[in-house]
Chains A and B, each alone.
Chain A
Amino acid sequence: MSVIALSWWQLGLAATLVLALAACTHFARLGLGKSLLVAAARTAIQLTLVGLVLETLFSVGSLPWVALMGVAMLLLAGREVMARQKYRLRGGWSFTVGTAAMFISAFSVTVLTLTVIIGPTPWYTPQYAIPLLGMLLGNTMTGVALALDRLTEGVWRQRQLVENRLMLGQTWIEACGDIRRDAMRSGLMPIINAMAAAGIVSLPGMMTGQILSGTAPALAVKYQILIMFTIAAGTGFGTFVAVSVASRRLFDRRERLRLDRLQPGNRG
């Protein structure tokens, strides 16, 4: 089985569907037409560029270039985590905490999966390494961003409660324990829901892609299960690290709550 090649005019047909939708929303005065078209154009341009990068990377396939790509993806993800915070840690801590958490979890889980589980030769074969890292980083990013946002906003809103608990002689861990639990939960909920609903409500995107490109469904399913498990581990550990470090940073050496270490971000 081999996949049927798509040519640009065939994509053009799909694009006319989007154009038709944009026209409809324009005439219905929904005010969405422009952003829909911009987003569609961005999809086309960004994915084409990534395609070019990947083509080049696949043809070179050397470790330094794969590593460079990985680091670039990581830094972009770190920036995205920071941009999604309503309240950020001052002095670059938001970026550092998010990026470090994703590095520890997504990178190590990717390398572990490549070397121990899938085992391509060489282990950094870009065909396996880049999509795997991309899936892991994307999901870990969502988890870490949600959890950090929940944590800082929770502490900001419940300042009085946290300080009341401190006044009664509780340690900083006890005083913000509920907020940390909440943050961890909101970071892990998306992947838990995705695992619970996989195959029933939706066919996961990666599996669909593999099946479309001619992989036997049984094999595609195995890859999907592998991906789900690694995403759960990566997101979980990443969220855990991020919440632990960030919440420690919200208290100082004397276990005082230091909201002056937060600053309102641009979001919302």
Chain B
Amino acid sequence: MAPGQIVCLSGPSGSGKSRLLRAVADLEPHGGVVRLGDRDQDSLAGHRWRQSVMMVPAETAWWFDTVGEHLHKPMPDALGALGFPDDAAEWAVSRLSSGEKQRLALIRALSRDPQALLLDEPTANLDDDTTLQVEDWLQSYIAEHQCPTLWVAHREDQIQRVAAKHFRIDGARLREQEVEQ
């Protein structure tokens, strides 16, 4: 995958999209070879690898009381771009909706400056307008920071909007699909 390239991954549920992402993030034992630039997955300690190749899961969990404590550094621009007010960092995690959690999980991940992204249905809990907002913001972030990105998506229209390449998991095979540029 090229720097700044978004590759979409789709397939029926249970086909192993999330497992593929988990293997690339090295959260699951696997037999493949994964490289970031010229560095092998095995040449870095597990947590260093995951700092660089960051996965954002579909279901997120939070452990501190407020949103801000989960962020590595303050992210006022990102909060604004995703439609949060300035004081969102002080919000109590227990009162977040699933859509808010999903967007904040993206910000939480990007506050750690990853070099590559693995996004597992990043807009699954969002309405159409917010989905477009998140897509725009992610695309500009990815282009600006030149992060190669694996993006698991369901909706064909989203794939057409964001993907440079699209692969569909079909049984045990990965089939490349047409994408309009």
Contact = CB atoms under 8 A, between A and B. Distances in A.
A55 interface: no
B109 A256 contact: no
B106 to A, nearest CB: 12
Interface residues of B, number: 26
A169 B46 CA distance: 8
A182 interface: no
B61 interface: yes
B28 interface: yes
Interface stretch (B49-57, B84-92, B124-132, B158-166): B49-57
B145 interface: no
* Interface size of A as a range: 20 to 34
A80 interface: no
Contact of A178 (B42, B57, B59, B63): B63
B59 A255 contact: no
Contacts, number: 60
Given A169-B51, A170-B47, A163 B60 contact: no
Contact of B46 (A158, A163, A178, A254): A254
B27 A256 contact: yes
B76 to A, nearest CB: 20
A163 B28 CA distance: 10
A172 interface: yes
B56 A167 contact: yes
Contact of A168 (B29, B46, B109): B109
Interface in B22-73: 25-29, 42, 45-48, 50-52, 54-57, 59-63
Interface of B: 25-29, 42, 45-48, 50-52, 54-57, 59-63, 108-109, 112, 114
